[in-house]
Chain A
């Protein structure tokens, strides 16, 4: 039953995705809370040309991949803001245009250069691709992310709930949001090898949306998001081991999708919330205090 643990590459993948879950969980949680889930998805595609160009120039060097990915991701983010401010097209359409061009450019270069890495593992990830360098990349990403969250958690919460209030309390109100977007790009690069560029965001968003159906405090939300991410990673890896033609990315994301559907059906703030609201005009929590007034 545990024969998959005999393989070094599986152990490695297990360690990598466990650390990755720690790292992407808070990032995904705040992407959901800040209503940036789709922007995260777009950014995952936007980093592709940077990674590809770095790969074509420098081969499988993790460092050049980070630099390339960061340059591409941050450029698209900055350009999007610029276009939304200076032209008539709004932020969503600007971002969509830019990331599509970036993704097409990345795949174009990769194919034209006659890459040794198969396109499939580039798009969907491969547990075989996790070497020592990748493990170090994931470890560094997780360290930077968790230390950052320890520092910016409170300002991040305040700026998410009430940006106007946050602006009144902070000397540099934009900084927290920019730092957070940097963490998003960093984690997408960290998740890229194991999950692929098309699936990297799945491990961020799906555990976070699923956990939101169960929890109503930020602490329990972050913990449950992590547990869901971890469960998805492990189960997905095992599926990918027994069905070797299935890349790890889709396997992990499908498990996360299963947890999402289960949470939607049975979580207190999923479908049950709507049926409660339909059953009684107002939930008892909302009416009782009014009556007390």
Chain B
């Protein structure tokens, strides 16, 4: 096992956002974190990074905490006009281990090129950031996340303001990372993507947490009781569960809540 949390309280001292969070993550897992705004999703991600420590309890890393945890956060504070090329943005994923004056070695350069190729942005590698579309920028940030080359990858709402084509390709990339034995923790609002690409789900909301298989956790009743959906919206997911072949939905581009 890579990571275990048992009965954690997360948030800020005196005002925890969510209590009794328990889950396990193995290598190759894709864990979806779902919940309403303010349920504690980003707080969970930041507590894993050590930025906001848990109010009570601690994460257990049976094999030791990984040296690098790859992280792609929300883009609210990202400066898309900084004078830097796409290739260098991707290479930033490797800066952490370099020390103060170290240079990127040949092997790192290769890692950067591979990441650019797999995110399908090789042809714009020398473009500055300010000419990129939102989708291209997110691909570049996925490339940076790949260059971090970590056993655990944290993605906080990576598909906000991204078109469906890009989302589909990036989700396939996440599947590939899982197949390489990396664990991925993914904050998502797109429930159809959760059901197709994630093998575990953590539902946060109204101060509580539920963990398990996506089909068992993300039931209409749970989603309503934890404040994620209104009862009328829950009818939609009911109909989704009744569909025998959910993979077909992928071809239609997936439906969003």
Number of interface residues of B (CB under 8 A): 38
Does B136 contact A289, Cβ atoms closer than 8 Å?
A: yes
Task: Tell me the smallest distance from the CB of B42 to a CB of chain A, in Å.
Answer: 10
Closest to A212 in B: B83
B100 & A151 in contact (Cβ 8 Å cutoff): yes
- Alpha-carbon distance A90/B69, docked complex (angstroms): 34
Contact code string A138-168 (vs B, CB < 8 Å = 1, else 0): 0000000000001100100110111111011
Complex CA gap A165/B128 in Å reads 19
Cα A212 to Cα B76 in complex, Å, equals 23
B84 within 8 Å of A by Cβ?
A: yes
- B84 x A218 contact (CB < 8 A): yes
CA of A288 to CA of B124, assembled, Å: 9
**In the assembled complex, which residues on chain B have CB atoms less than 8 Å from the CB atom of A150?**
100-101
Is A228 engaged at the interface, CB distance under 8 Å to the other chain? no
Number of A residues near B (Cβ < 8 Å) is: 30
Q: Which residues of B contact A289 (CB under 8 A)?
A: 121, 123-124, 136
Within 8 A of A (CB), among B73-89: 73-74, 76-79, 82-85, 88-89
Asked whether B106 is an interface residue with its Cβ less than 8 Å from the other chain, the reply is no
Q: Does A112 contact B (CB under 8 A)?
A: no
State whether A285 touches B127 (Cβ < 8 A).
Answer: yes
Contact B83 A162 (CB under 8 A): no
> A161 and B131 in contact (CB under 8 A), knowing A168-B69, A221-B83?
no
Provided the pairs A154-B95, A167-B51, A168-B73 are in contact, do residues A292 and B83 lie with their beta carbons within 8 angstroms? no
Whether A218 pairs with B83 at a CB distance below 8 angstroms is: yes
Collect the chain B residues with CB atoms within 8 Å of residue A285's CB.
124, 127, 131
Nearest-neighbour CB distance to chain B for A31, whole angstroms, equals: 14
Say if the beta carbon of A3 comes within 8 Å of chain B.
no
Q: Which residue of B lies closest to A155 (CB)?
A: B95
Interface flag for A286 (CB, 8 Å): yes
A283 to B133, CA, bound (A): 11
Provided the pairs A154-B98, A285-B127 are in contact, do residues A163 and B82 lie with their beta carbons within 8 angstroms? no
CA distance A162 to B141 in the complex (A): 10
A162-B165 in contact (CB<8A): no
Residue of B nearest to A269 (CB): B130
Binding site for A on B (CB under 8 A): 46, 49, 51, 69, 71-74, 76-79, 82-85, 88-89, 92, 95-96, 98, 100-101, 120-121, 123-124, 127-128, 130-133, 135-136, 165-166
